[in-house]
Structure 1
Amino acid sequence: MLADLKPNQAVKHQVAQGHHFKTNSSEVSTETFGALINLAGRQRMLSQRIVLNAVLSTMGHESALETAREALALFRVSHAALVHGNSELPGVFFEELRLVYFGEIEADRKITEFISLVEKTISACESKFRTAPDLLSELGQQATPIVALLNRVTVVYEEESKKHAKVQRKQHHELMSSIQNIAKQARIVSVNAQIVAARAGEVGREFAVVAGELTNITAKIDELVRVAVGNASV
Structure 2
Amino acid sequence: MSTLTAPSPVTAPRHTPAHIQGLSLVNLAARQRMLSQRMILQTVLAAQGDAERLAAAQRSLAMFSESQQHLQNTGAQLEPAGARKIRDTYEGPQGVGPVVQAFMGLMQTALRQIESGSARMADTLAELVAHTDRILEALNTATTAFDEVARARGDAMMKELTGIVGDIQNVAKEAKVVSFNAQVVAARAGTHGREFAVVANVLSDITGEIDALTRKAAVLADRSRAT
* TM-score over 0.5 for the pair: yes
Deviation at 1:195, TM superposition (A): 1.1
Deviation at 1:187, TM superposition (A): 0.6
Which residue is 2:5 aligned to? none
Which residue is 2:118 aligned to? 129
SS in 1 for 2:35: helix
Give the AA of the match of 1:121: A
**In structure 1, what is the Cα distance between the partners aligned to 2:71 and 2:185?**
63
Superposed structure 1 runs of 4+ greater than 4 Å apart: 7-11
Unaligned runs of 5+ in 2: 1-7, 13-20
Cα deviation per residue 1:174-204 (whole Å; 9 max; x = unaligned)?
1111111101000101111111121122222
Which residue is 1:119 aligned to? 108
- Is the Cα–Cα contact under 8 Å of residues 11 and 69 in structure 2 kept in the other structure? no
Which residue is 1:96 aligned to? 85
- Is the Cα–Cα contact under 8 Å of residues 83 and 92 in structure 1 kept in the other structure? no
SS in 2 for 1:59: coil
Task: Report whether the alignment pairs 1:179 with 2:159.
Answer: no
Of residues 206, 220, 223 in structure 2, which corresponds to 1:231?
A: 220
Give me the TM-score of the superposition, normalised by structure 2.
Answer: 0.83
**In structure 1, what is the Cα distance between the partners aligned to 2:87 and 2:61?**
24
- Is the Cα–Cα contact under 8 Å of residues 76 and 86 in structure 2 kept in the other structure? no
Which residue is 1:109 aligned to? 98
Give the AA of the match of 1:64: R
Question: Using a 3 Å threshold, how does the CA distance of structure 1 residues 186 and 92 change in structure 2: closer, same or farther?
Answer: closer
Which residue is 1:55 aligned to? 44
- Is the Cα–Cα contact under 8 Å of residues 54 and 122 in structure 1 kept in the other structure? yes
Of residues 136, 144, 156 in structure 1, which corresponds to 2:145?
A: 156
**In structure 2, what is the Cα distance between the partners aligned to 1:133 and 1:9?**
30
Of residues 197, 211, 217 in structure 2, which corresponds to 1:208?
A: 197
- Is the Cα–Cα contact under 8 Å of residues 33 and 161 in structure 1 kept in the other structure? no
Give the AA of the match of 2:137: A
Question: Aligned residues: percent identity?
Answer: 36
Cα deviation per residue 1:147-190 (whole Å; 9 max; x = unaligned)?
11001000001111111121122111111111111010001011
Task: Report whether the alignment pairs 1:217 with 2:206.
Answer: yes
- Is the Cα–Cα contact under 8 Å of residues 92 and 98 in structure 1 kept in the other structure? no
CA-based RMSD of the aligned residues comes to 2.2
* Aligned length, in residue pairs: 204
Question: Using a 3 Å threshold, how does the CA distance of structure 1 residues 143 and 96 change in structure 2: closer, same or farther?
Answer: same
Deviation at 1:110, TM superposition (A): 2.3
Which residue is 1:145 aligned to? 134
**In structure 2, what is the Cα distance between the partners aligned to 1:135 and 1:67?**
19
Unaligned runs of 5+ in 1: 1-6, 12-31
Give the AA of the match of 2:27: N
- Is the Cα–Cα contact under 8 Å of residues 39 and 61 in structure 2 kept in the other structure? yes
